[in-house]
Amino acid sequence: MNNLSLRLCLFWGLSVAGLFSSCSEKPTEPYGALTGPIYPLAIGNRWSFLTFSFDSLANVRLVGRDSISIVGDTIVDGNRWYYEASSSDRIGHRASERGILTRVLSVRSDGKEALALKYPAKVGDVYGYPVFVSGNPLISIIDNLMMCTVKCTDTTIFVPAGQFRCYMYQTSIPSSGSKSYTQMFLSPSYGWIKTDQYYSTTANGSVYLTVSRRAESILVH
């Protein structure tokens, strides 16, 4: 990929309209051309977020900040893996023909890798989403509990960092009986744009947005 250095920090006012997104065939001048890696992996890449918490009446309860940073890489079985944090049991990611793969990089790894983000993808694609389970002594990946569905491949998303064309992935746990789910929005060449978590107290209860994490600034190489 051509070097891309982007710092986007735009003033953004919270409004009701900004809480929602929809699939769009003709987005109006957003960043991204739906080409490039869905999750740009390079040391120094950083995504900073504003995080909003809501109650069941859509009242904002908490606003905070956090970030994702690619801090290092390593070679495992001839493949280069990038990791986000320097913990003892770090989680790694690498790009493949199927999309973004993930695995544990420490000595506690069970050696398994799994598909985290299918890319390229088409609407309706479904696959097992990886869940990490800490055991003794190994950390295992389970990819038959949580499912991920590609809901959209060209949706326009507005966040503090700007306007982006995104893929939208939705994860849920069908076997739980809950209607809760999470939506992840990523833009090719830009990566993480927004994550929304929807929660339901019961299987038949109403679903409401409980946490929204929105990109405030992006730095990718």
Res. 86 pLDDT band, cuts 50 70 90: low
Over residues 70-78, the mean pLDDT reads 94
Q: Does the structure show a pLDDT above 80 at 32?
A: no
Domains and CATH numbers, the chain: 17-219 (2.40.360)
CA distance 102 to 54: 30
State residue 138's pLDDT score: 82
Where is average pLDDT lowest: 48-57, 77-86, 157-166?
Answer: 77-86
Q: Does the structure show a pLDDT above 80 at 75?
A: yes
Q: Does the structure show a pLDDT above 90 at 209?
A: yes
State residue 61's pLDDT score: 85
73 and 45 Cβ atoms separated by less than 8 Å:
no
Helix (H, G, I), strand (E, B) or coil at 139: strand
What token pair was written down for 219? 């730095």
Round the average pLDDT of the chain to a whole number and report it.
84
Q: Computed from CA positions of residues 160, 165, 167, 173, in that sequence, does the dihedral angle turn out positive or negative?
A: positive
DSSP codes joined into one string, 165-209? EEEEEEEE-GGG----EEEEEEETTTEEEEEEEEE-SSTTS--EE
- Name, in order, each residue with C-beta under 8 angstroms of 70's C-beta and a sequence gap of 6 or more: 41, 42, 43, 44, 45, 46, 82, 83, 84
Predicted TM-score (pTM) of this structure: 0.84
Place of tokens 């569905």: 149
pLDDT-above-70 percentage for the chain: 82
State residue 49's pLDDT score: 97
